[in-house]
Structure 1
């Protein structure tokens, strides 16, 4: 079939298209960017019925037994009866474009994923019944209900797959590093596609594979690998019998696997395919392209000795060979009436030709090896029958014994691993990406047609250095940039080892440029860092390799915690983040180490990184004065206090970007760059964008604002604002004083301490004034004790006397130092 061209049906104009069959397979429905719904009669060449209702491109369609539903970028969701499509009901509205919808199995609920951060569940019979699920602070791309009515899967644009209980609406599980992180309007898929009957689901992973996962342990059962050069999966679809799985690839076409043999059984070369749908219980696959063209492919799977037309006429629950279940007969049902067995229906006929599989059960092996007289363990025939039935009924989630499934069992105790974090770097967007972007400048690379890349290094201030570029034959994947030079690294390949390359901006000695190869076999850099003193390389072999700026090796050691996540450097300070096991909820627990290379002294060793619940690390770095900061997936910037004292470090939030006043009126996020001058430098990302693109964007600075109180807009002298101002200056003063305690005090630092103390006392005196006005005497005394300078205490006493609070003024007098 791959060689036969199909007859196109021009259903829509250019743009995103979606399609779905009705449950009985009578109609095929398509939607697209021309605002029209097409209703095709299956098996008929007549012109389809056209339904025009939405005002903007239609982005999704879902079907139940009696109705179908559509969603659009006009932020509306409409329901139509299948047998009378001219009538429609406006089910719900959102404030932003809708990206996907899904019917519950009973047809009573519609799940809605939009550019809003919340997924809405709307009752189709009582639209006023609405549940909001907010899995993260980013928008969501896909939703899907499991056929067993247990789960609702939500694919977030942050690359995390969330699972909610369909009854209690509570979050059950989330999976990281499982799906792609894609924008809401992208044609790539991150949807969980449920198997028709066995409780597994398929997703497209970052390696352009289709992974099949089980809800028993949330691990991958197996992965289906496409042919070479197949990439960018746009849709996935199971056949009705659950045996075959089709995936469409943006540029190459469609591949179909037989999940029994895990082999590709059909291939179709059609570019720009964006949506797939199998005709129910038929060997027919329909698909649409982003040119709005519909194709119907009959006999899409070639028949053979193992594949017949009868295979498509029934639903086969045990198709994949990894979820083999045993059904109980009437006698066993009586024995186990209190146990849940309804999930195992329709499986008994497929088990060993109708006979029960007792595994290694042996009637003659009932005697205990220690039963020397042979009669200490006696059973009668009834007990033997019960034992057989218990042996035949496996524990929930039991897997047949095979090499592949045995390996899967051994992975049950493995937990999710946090993916590496590359500060200042972006993934490929088209044929280009940023390798590094900071306050000095940026490094970006472009893929060329002849197989190599071109790297460009440019600076914000070109009065010091000019932009330059050079060909990249090594395919560098990581880079760092400072005022003196640039550091690059490339992974190991079959032909060459991992490479570290340093290139100065000005080669005054004509020999300052250097490169070295990592000595271990298949050793690749995971994370690199560059400071004014050292070069840090963390590798896949678990080594931390530290070099001087000239490439001279200074130190090497193997990390106690692996794999690495990130590293950063400032002068002689090195900060390394790694996976440290799992938290109580099964999420990755990250740990960090801070070491001074010149002193060979470790300040913090494998201390826990304070991530939010179900959150991820987005960036970690040193500020312009050498204090560690981190930015998490919740949009919170945190500073590390007391990090120079072993065991005393703690992460303190200094800015919650969700509380910014501009965020309340805009749909935007913030891509972290660094902290300088006690301000958060970032790049604004509009809508659902997650990474900056070209041309090089401008930086935006936000001052710190501690999330300690509910702030009052445009009221800098309100009590909450003054409380926040005082706490912010206390945190900054703590960081400055701890740096001074290290020695080498500069005049600028001394002036900074004086300024911060004055700001703290000024805010406290204003709070004391307000407390005196309200006659809150205990609060006045408490605030006065926090004053740092004697003149400020005297000022507080004068404020109390001004309000005729002589008693509290006397108490304040006792706080003054003795003359």
Structure 2
């Protein structure tokens, strides 16, 4: 139920009757009003004293905006004047127009002022240098309202032709980003009704009074259908699709609206004499007020104050505007804009030892139990702690909130302090959530179902159905396609052979799998299959040989590419998390036993489906504390890779040998040179590992997922995270090996990993000539790196001889040529003893080879 205020504010006569406008300075200390007369008034927040008058201003003002240092006002004579808040006097005429000014907007930093007039062109003027002017020319009619994006990078223009023009101002030549049709009504620039765009404070969406069909009663027996602005519609900045709407609030045209500073609340006023307060998250009205003829309204930047003006020239400053029962909404941090598809999944808390100590015991089994009424969280009595310090002797040093003594004074073995816990205390482990590699959550009405090096799949919610688009990077090899999706597919995989989809159970229909091959030598053989009732798909994967599906019942279902069920088994680790596949190999992940931090350990299994052999059975995924797997995939050479939430890319070494697998870090994106010194704030969306590079999408700022338009792929070379500098202790002094040696040592470790991966591949498969040649080439590069390290050690001095000999011992060359080259390096630097040791090492190696 919405609250109807009983308080009736008295308006302050600010200006003569006529359109009156107002604005706060960003610090909230001053409130500035401008109206139909030639005076502008400056009010001090929290003071009931008379305002400061700035006289000899322009008459018939139509807009006022302010920074902490100055304010600007536009008027019907076509001028925009800037006034100093230090002297309260005219500073300069910022711009002149040939026709009346209708709106003025300031960029968040105050450096640019956008001016809309009855001219067709919008002028964006630099407030410090009036000679710098940007021109927005795409409009076909005059502009009624302007609004800067919170970042200052975009400007939304509400035109009298009924279109919203969104410009990018990131360059000196503004670019039209989007023309939004059907959002606002076509209104003349001097009409009282509003078509103003307001950006949500988080910058992800905008809202405006939208064109709504209403009924105009013309008489007792006749009525006419008209268009009015009764609702407030939200639009996503990402895809410009319609989102949530604030509907059924006003019975007349909306004249003013504004977000609260944190975006949790929305205030709107209309010709129906209503001033409404909406909750943004639910789009529900939480308070109603009655004030006629409101022209402009604005929130105080930090206080619970809403100020507004009307067409009678009155100013209203409404303190305690948000009712006390909803005041917590205004005190929240910046809230996100409400979208149609939002993932507000509340994860269970991490259960730690501290949580267990704080766990409380509910009263059970008594006739007057309050458990069902209050719930276990409210029942905090501890029946074991009953001692009361009634004589002041200090027995109750740790008295709890119920006047009872705690047992915190008791020490556990080893000095640890603990509390006794009842046997019926309950706690919930934290599970790793399931996910589909390469997919993103809904944002607005669209999401990516799959992103990889082959292409991408995305879906668009059309209310009654979805539409699926599949795009390929190589359009000469494959053609893009698009189709209507009545099944609402929510997962997809794509490779060179086909595209796989799955949909959840819907309206009593079971979950379903759909495979569409790209090209076949026969007619295209699409196929669908349904899962048993009550079984939902948690993840899917597609390889050159099989379709793999993991389900909510912990089954792993394997199909051939033409729809024949091949294998079904129940996964040991549960609940299932995800899966990936490559040729005949399938990797599945699931939640395992609970660790000491209350979080389950993630386990993986790799098996060869065709040979029915298990390579790794329920092994632990190596994650740091609190880390999660963000994506899992096979490299182009068929090696399992994961990318975790800490920004580290890892590859699985020796995974074909049971019990020998280990996760090796290939790249820590937090240590990239481009992030040095905090110059950039960005993260990375993993796509693939191919050609010895990490392919990803760069996410700017605080973005967590890629969105539309489709971003470009970036690639980074591997760089195994070693210590930044290796230090050698010699004769009691610290002698750093230097940047050159550090790079070579990283290259040595990295090449040893890639060599091991290639050797495993050649040993497990029928190697091609190219693979064997590649192995010889990599071994040669490996030994060249060691030669360079040897040269550095020889250059440092004779005391480095032991390490230099150790480096030579790492060489893989069996012909003796690289050992001979190492001896020449030692000779060049005059390390005769080292040269002799290297020669002996070479002879021993040759003898050993002969014995083999």
- Supply the distance in 2 between the matched residues of 1:599 and 1:497 (Cα, whole angstroms): 31
Cα pair distance change 1:576/1:795, threshold 3 Å: same
Cα pair distance change 1:437/1:710, threshold 3 Å: same
1:744 alignment counterpart:
766
Cα pair distance change 1:484/1:743, threshold 3 Å: closer
1:249 to 274, 280, 299: 280
1:38–1:51 Cα contact (<8 Å) kept: no
Matched, 1:729 2:751: yes
1:773 to 782, 786, 795: 795
1:619 alignment counterpart:
631
The offset of 1:325, in angstroms, is 5.2
The offset of 1:51, in angstroms, is 10
1:453 alignment counterpart:
466
1:656 to 626, 646, 668: 668
The offset of 1:40, in angstroms, is 6.0
The offset of 1:743, in angstroms, is 2.6
List alignment gaps of at least 5 residues for structure 1. 20-26, 30-36, 57-71, 76-114, 116-181, 189-226, 238-245, 257-272, 280-284, 303-317, 349-388, 397-407
2:821 alignment counterpart:
795
2:589–2:602 Cα contact (<8 Å) kept: yes
1:417 alignment counterpart:
431
Report the secondary structure of 2:448's partner residue: strand
2:494–2:542 Cα contact (<8 Å) kept: yes
TM-score by length of 1: 0.57
2:721 to 689, 701, 707: 707
The offset of 1:802, in angstroms, is 2.3
The offset of 1:253, in angstroms, is 2.5
Matched, 1:640 2:652: yes
Matched, 1:479 2:492: yes
1:681–1:702 Cα contact (<8 Å) kept: yes
User: In the TM superposition, what are the counterparts of 1:200-599 in structure 2 within 5 Å?
Assistant: 248-250=279-281, 252-253=283-284, 322-324=377-379, 332=390, 334=392, 337-341=395-399, 344=401, 412-449=426-463, 451-506=464-519, 509-510=522-523, 512-521=525-534, 523-599=535-611
- Supply the distance in 2 between the matched residues of 1:759 and 1:329 (Cα, whole angstroms): 75
Cα pair distance change 1:301/1:733, threshold 3 Å: closer
Cα pair distance change 1:474/1:785, threshold 3 Å: same
- Supply the distance in 2 between the matched residues of 1:599 and 1:622 (Cα, whole angstroms): 19
Report the secondary structure of 2:841's partner residue: coil
Report the secondary structure of 2:559's partner residue: strand
Cα pair distance change 1:583/1:45, threshold 3 Å: farther
Deviations 1:234-282 (A, max 9, x none): 8889xxxxxxxx99334612679xxxxxxxxxxxxxxxx9999999xxx
The offset of 1:467, in angstroms, is 1.3
- Supply the distance in 2 between the matched residues of 1:275 and 1:511 (Cα, whole angstroms): 61
- Supply the distance in 1 between the matched residues of 2:247 and 2:591 (Cα, whole angstroms): 32
- Supply the distance in 1 between the matched residues of 2:570 and 2:8 (Cα, whole angstroms): 61
Cα pair distance change 1:14/1:412, threshold 3 Å: farther
Report the secondary structure of 1:454's partner residue: strand
The offset of 1:38, in angstroms, is 9.9
- Supply the distance in 1 between the matched residues of 2:693 and 2:505 (Cα, whole angstroms): 38
Report the secondary structure of 1:748's partner residue: helix
User: Aligned Cα RMSD in Å?
Assistant: 5.0
1:615–1:634 Cα contact (<8 Å) kept: yes
TM-score by length of 2: 0.55
Cα pair distance change 1:43/1:641, threshold 3 Å: farther
- Supply the distance in 1 between the matched residues of 2:587 and 2:22 (Cα, whole angstroms): 54
2:24–2:66 Cα contact (<8 Å) kept: no
The offset of 1:703, in angstroms, is 1.2
The offset of 1:745, in angstroms, is 0.6
The offset of 1:811, in angstroms, is 1.6
2:305–2:317 Cα contact (<8 Å) kept: no
Cα pair distance change 1:604/1:275, threshold 3 Å: farther
The offset of 1:447, in angstroms, is 1.0
Cα pair distance change 1:741/1:325, threshold 3 Å: closer
2:832 alignment counterpart:
806
- Supply the distance in 1 between the matched residues of 2:300 and 2:635 (Cα, whole angstroms): 49
Matched, 1:691 2:705: yes
- Supply the distance in 2 between the matched residues of 1:14 and 1:515 (Cα, whole angstroms): 60
Report the secondary structure of 1:592's partner residue: strand
1:756 alignment counterpart:
778
- Supply the distance in 2 between the matched residues of 1:570 and 1:38 (Cα, whole angstroms): 70
1:354 alignment counterpart:
none
Deviations 1:286-331 (A, max 9, x none): 8999xx99895687779xxxxxxxxxxxxxxx99663355799975
Cα pair distance change 1:298/1:601, threshold 3 Å: closer
Cα pair distance change 1:794/1:700, threshold 3 Å: same
Deviations 1:81-111 (A, max 9, x none): xxxxxxxxxxxxxxxxxxxxxxxxxxxxxxx
Cα pair distance change 1:627/1:325, threshold 3 Å: closer
- Supply the distance in 2 between the matched residues of 1:655 and 1:460 (Cα, whole angstroms): 25
Cα pair distance change 1:726/1:274, threshold 3 Å: farther
- Supply the distance in 2 between the matched residues of 1:495 and 1:787 (Cα, whole angstroms): 65
- Supply the distance in 1 between the matched residues of 2:30 and 2:24 (Cα, whole angstroms): 19
Tell me the number of residue pairs that the alignment of Structure 1 and Structure 2 aligns. Answer: 540
2:363 alignment counterpart:
none
The offset of 1:688, in angstroms, is 1.3
1:184–1:688 Cα contact (<8 Å) kept: no
1:782 alignment counterpart:
806
2:630–2:644 Cα contact (<8 Å) kept: yes
Cα pair distance change 1:294/1:473, threshold 3 Å: farther
Deviations 1:25-77 (A, max 9, x none): xx999xxxxxxx99865999999xx9964999xxxxxxxxxxxxxxx9879xx
Cα pair distance change 1:558/1:326, threshold 3 Å: closer
1:706–1:727 Cα contact (<8 Å) kept: yes
- Supply the distance in 1 between the matched residues of 2:378 and 2:833 (Cα, whole angstroms): 79
The offset of 1:3, in angstroms, is 7.5
Report the secondary structure of 2:708's partner residue: coil
Matched, 1:719 2:745: no
